[in-house]
Protein backbone atom coordinates (compact mmCIF):
# COMPACT_ATOMS: atom_id res chain seq x y z
CA UNK A 1 0.00 0.00 0.00
CA UNK A 2 1.25 3.47 -0.87
CA UNK A 3 0.08 6.75 0.62
CA UNK A 4 1.47 9.93 -0.91
CA UNK A 5 1.47 12.59 1.81
CA UNK A 6 2.04 16.15 0.71
CA UNK A 7 3.27 18.73 3.15
CA UNK A 8 0.11 19.97 4.92
CA UNK A 9 -0.69 23.63 5.35
CA UNK A 10 -0.95 23.29 9.13
CA UNK A 11 -1.73 26.91 9.86
CA UNK A 12 -4.42 27.00 7.16
CA UNK A 13 -5.97 23.81 8.50
CA UNK A 14 -6.02 25.33 11.98
CA UNK A 15 -7.75 28.43 10.61
CA UNK A 16 -10.35 26.23 8.90
CA UNK A 17 -11.02 24.36 12.16
CA UNK A 18 -11.64 27.63 14.02
CA UNK A 19 -13.78 28.92 11.14
CA UNK A 20 -15.85 25.72 11.32
CA UNK A 21 -16.42 26.32 15.04
CA UNK A 22 -17.49 29.90 14.33
CA UNK A 23 -19.96 28.80 11.67
CA UNK A 24 -21.50 26.30 14.11
CA UNK A 25 -22.28 29.13 16.55
CA UNK A 26 -24.38 30.86 13.87
CA UNK A 27 -27.01 28.16 14.27
CA UNK A 28 -27.68 29.52 17.77
CA UNK A 29 -26.68 33.18 17.62
CA UNK A 30 -27.43 34.99 14.38
CA UNK A 31 -24.41 36.83 13.01
CA UNK A 32 -25.86 40.33 12.94
CA UNK A 33 -25.28 43.75 14.46
CA UNK A 34 -27.90 43.22 17.19
CA UNK A 35 -25.88 40.28 18.59
CA UNK A 36 -22.35 41.71 18.46
CA UNK A 37 -22.13 42.01 22.27
CA UNK A 38 -23.49 38.50 22.91
CA UNK A 39 -20.83 36.60 24.84
CA UNK A 40 -20.24 32.92 25.55
CA UNK A 41 -17.77 30.21 26.47
CA UNK A 42 -17.55 29.21 22.80
CA UNK A 43 -16.63 32.75 21.75
CA UNK A 44 -13.97 32.73 24.49
CA UNK A 45 -12.47 29.61 22.98
CA UNK A 46 -12.61 31.00 19.41
CA UNK A 47 -11.01 34.32 20.41
CA UNK A 48 -8.21 32.70 22.38
CA UNK A 49 -7.47 30.13 19.66
CA UNK A 50 -7.59 32.64 16.77
CA UNK A 51 -5.67 35.44 18.50
CA UNK A 52 -3.00 33.04 19.81
CA UNK A 53 -2.45 31.77 16.28
CA UNK A 54 -2.27 35.36 15.01
CA UNK A 55 0.56 35.98 17.49
CA UNK A 56 2.38 32.81 16.39
CA UNK A 57 2.12 33.74 12.70
CA UNK A 58 3.00 37.41 13.22
CA UNK A 59 6.26 36.28 14.77
CA UNK A 60 6.97 34.10 11.73
CA UNK A 61 6.15 36.99 9.39
CA UNK A 62 8.41 39.27 11.47
CA UNK A 63 11.29 36.82 11.04
CA UNK A 64 10.55 36.30 7.32
CA UNK A 65 10.76 40.08 6.85
CA UNK A 66 14.32 39.78 8.24
CA UNK A 67 13.84 41.51 11.56
CA UNK A 68 15.97 40.02 14.32
CA UNK A 69 14.95 41.22 17.78
CA UNK A 70 15.42 38.28 20.15
CA UNK A 71 12.02 38.51 21.86
CA UNK A 72 9.73 40.54 19.60
CA UNK A 73 6.30 41.59 20.84
CA UNK A 74 3.03 42.67 19.24
CA UNK A 75 4.28 46.25 18.87
CA UNK A 76 7.44 45.04 17.09
CA UNK A 77 5.30 43.05 14.66
CA UNK A 78 3.29 46.20 13.92
CA UNK A 79 6.40 48.25 13.08
CA UNK A 80 7.88 45.51 10.88
CA UNK A 81 4.64 45.01 8.96
CA UNK A 82 4.02 48.74 8.64
CA UNK A 83 7.49 49.17 7.16
CA UNK A 84 7.60 46.19 4.79
CA UNK A 85 3.98 45.08 4.19
CA UNK A 86 1.76 48.11 4.81
CA UNK A 87 -1.08 46.67 2.70
CA UNK A 88 -1.48 43.98 5.40
CA UNK A 89 -2.86 46.62 7.78
CA UNK A 90 -5.62 47.82 5.50
CA UNK A 91 -6.79 44.63 3.75
CA UNK A 92 -10.61 44.71 3.97
CA UNK A 93 -12.41 41.37 4.26
CA UNK A 94 -15.92 40.36 3.37
CA UNK A 95 -18.25 37.60 4.63
CA UNK A 96 -20.68 37.17 1.76
CA UNK A 97 -23.29 34.99 3.49
CA UNK A 98 -24.04 37.70 6.06
CA UNK A 99 -23.00 40.72 3.97
CA UNK A 100 -20.45 41.85 6.57
CA UNK A 101 -17.19 43.69 6.01
CA UNK A 102 -14.19 43.44 8.35
CA UNK A 103 -11.06 45.49 8.87
CA UNK A 104 -9.37 43.69 11.78
CA UNK A 105 -6.22 45.82 11.82
CA UNK A 106 -7.79 49.29 11.50
CA UNK A 107 -6.71 50.40 14.98
CA UNK A 108 -3.25 48.95 14.42
CA UNK A 109 -2.94 50.93 11.20
CA UNK A 110 -3.44 54.05 13.37
CA UNK A 111 -0.86 52.90 15.94
CA UNK A 112 -3.28 51.44 18.54
CA UNK A 113 -3.72 47.85 19.61
CA UNK A 114 -6.78 46.32 17.90
CA UNK A 115 -9.80 45.90 20.18
CA UNK A 116 -10.03 42.16 19.47
CA UNK A 117 -6.40 41.77 20.63
CA UNK A 118 -7.13 43.74 23.82
CA UNK A 119 -10.09 41.41 24.40
CA UNK A 120 -7.82 38.40 23.86
CA UNK A 121 -5.35 39.67 26.46
CA UNK A 122 -8.19 40.51 28.87
CA UNK A 123 -9.61 37.01 28.51
CA UNK A 124 -6.21 35.36 28.76
CA UNK A 125 -5.16 37.21 31.91
CA UNK A 126 -8.43 37.84 33.77
CA UNK A 127 -11.36 36.00 32.23
CA UNK A 128 -13.51 36.37 35.33
CA UNK A 129 -13.49 40.16 35.17
CA UNK A 130 -13.56 40.42 31.39
CA UNK A 131 -15.96 37.67 30.34
CA UNK A 132 -18.09 40.13 28.33
CA UNK A 133 -15.11 40.60 26.00
CA UNK A 134 -15.80 37.04 24.77
CA UNK A 135 -18.44 38.32 22.40
CA UNK A 136 -19.47 37.77 18.80
CA UNK A 137 -17.80 40.98 17.62
CA UNK A 138 -14.39 40.04 19.03
CA UNK A 139 -14.76 36.46 17.80
CA UNK A 140 -15.47 37.65 14.25
CA UNK A 141 -12.64 40.18 14.30
CA UNK A 142 -10.18 37.64 15.76
CA UNK A 143 -11.10 35.16 13.06
CA UNK A 144 -10.80 37.79 10.32
CA UNK A 145 -7.41 38.82 11.75
CA UNK A 146 -6.33 35.20 11.60
CA UNK A 147 -7.46 34.88 7.98
CA UNK A 148 -5.46 37.98 7.01
CA UNK A 149 -2.43 36.81 8.96
CA UNK A 150 -2.38 33.22 7.74
CA UNK A 151 -2.68 34.28 4.08
CA UNK A 152 0.15 36.79 4.52
CA UNK A 153 2.20 34.16 6.38
CA UNK A 154 2.00 31.93 3.31
CA UNK A 155 2.80 34.94 1.13
CA UNK A 156 6.00 35.48 3.15
CA UNK A 157 6.96 31.82 3.29
CA UNK A 158 6.21 30.99 -0.36
CA UNK A 159 9.32 29.65 -2.03
CA UNK A 160 9.24 32.13 -4.87
CA UNK A 161 12.14 34.03 -6.30
CA UNK A 162 10.07 37.21 -6.61
CA UNK A 163 10.04 39.73 -3.80
CA UNK A 164 7.05 39.80 -1.44
CA UNK A 165 5.66 42.87 -3.22
CA UNK A 166 5.73 41.02 -6.56
CA UNK A 167 3.95 37.88 -5.30
CA UNK A 168 0.27 37.89 -6.24
CA UNK A 169 -1.87 37.58 -3.14
CA UNK A 170 -4.56 35.93 -5.22
CA UNK A 171 -2.18 33.09 -6.13
CA UNK A 172 -1.56 32.42 -2.45
CA UNK A 173 -5.28 32.51 -1.64
CA UNK A 174 -6.10 30.13 -4.46
CA UNK A 175 -3.35 27.72 -3.40
CA UNK A 176 -4.97 27.25 0.02
CA UNK A 177 -7.46 24.42 -0.06
CA UNK A 178 -10.18 23.89 0.84
CA UNK A 179 -11.20 27.53 0.56
CA UNK A 180 -12.60 29.55 3.42
CA UNK A 181 -16.38 29.38 3.79
CA UNK A 182 -16.47 32.75 5.56
CA UNK A 183 -13.74 35.14 4.58
CA UNK A 184 -12.51 36.71 1.38
CA UNK A 185 -10.46 39.80 0.72
CA UNK A 186 -12.73 42.52 -0.64
CA UNK A 187 -10.09 43.46 -3.21
CA UNK A 188 -10.01 39.87 -4.47
CA UNK A 189 -13.66 38.72 -4.67
CA UNK A 190 -12.89 36.15 -7.34
CA UNK A 191 -10.87 34.24 -4.73
CA UNK A 192 -14.04 33.17 -2.93
CA UNK A 193 -15.03 29.56 -3.67
CA UNK A 194 -12.83 29.14 -6.75
pLDDT score at 172? 83
The dihedrals phi and psi of 134, each to the nearest 5 degrees, come to: -85, 60
Q: What is the pLDDT of residue 1?
A: 53
Cβ-Cβ contacts under 8 Å for 31 (sequence gap 6 or more): 95, 98, 100, 136, 140
Query: For residue 81, what are the domain limits?
Result: 21-191
CA dist., res. 136 & res. 36, Å (int): 5
Check residue 92 and give left, alpha or beta (phi > 0: left; psi -120 to 50: alpha).
beta
12 within a domain of the structure (yes/no): no
Q: For the chain, which residues score pLDDT lower than 70?
A: 1-7, 158-167, 187-194
Kindly state whether residue 105 falls inside one of the protein's structural domains. Answer: yes
40 found inside a domain: yes
Show Cβ contacts of residue 125 under 8 Å, excluding neighbours closer than 6 positions. Answer: none
Whether 4 is in a domain gets the answer: no
149 domain residue, yes or no: yes
pTM attached to this predicted model: 0.90
Residue 74 lies in a domain: yes
> Tens digit of pLDDT for each residue in 138-173?
999 999 999 999 999 998 886 544 555 556 777 888
pLDDT of residue 41: 97
User: What value does the CA radius of gyration of the chain take, rounded to a whole number of Å?
Assistant: 17
Distance in angstroms (rounded) separating the CA atoms of residues 91 and 111: 16
The pLDDT of residue 193 is: 33
| Residue 1 within a domain | no
Whether residue 91 lies inside any domain: the answer is yes
Residue 6 is predicted with a pLDDT of 64
Number of domains composing the chain: 1
Amino acid sequence: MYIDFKKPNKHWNYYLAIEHDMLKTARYVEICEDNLKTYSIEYTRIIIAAASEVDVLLKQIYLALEFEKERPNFDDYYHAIKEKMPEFLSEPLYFEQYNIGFEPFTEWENGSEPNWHKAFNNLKHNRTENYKDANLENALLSLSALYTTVVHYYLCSASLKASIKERPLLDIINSLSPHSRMMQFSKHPQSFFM
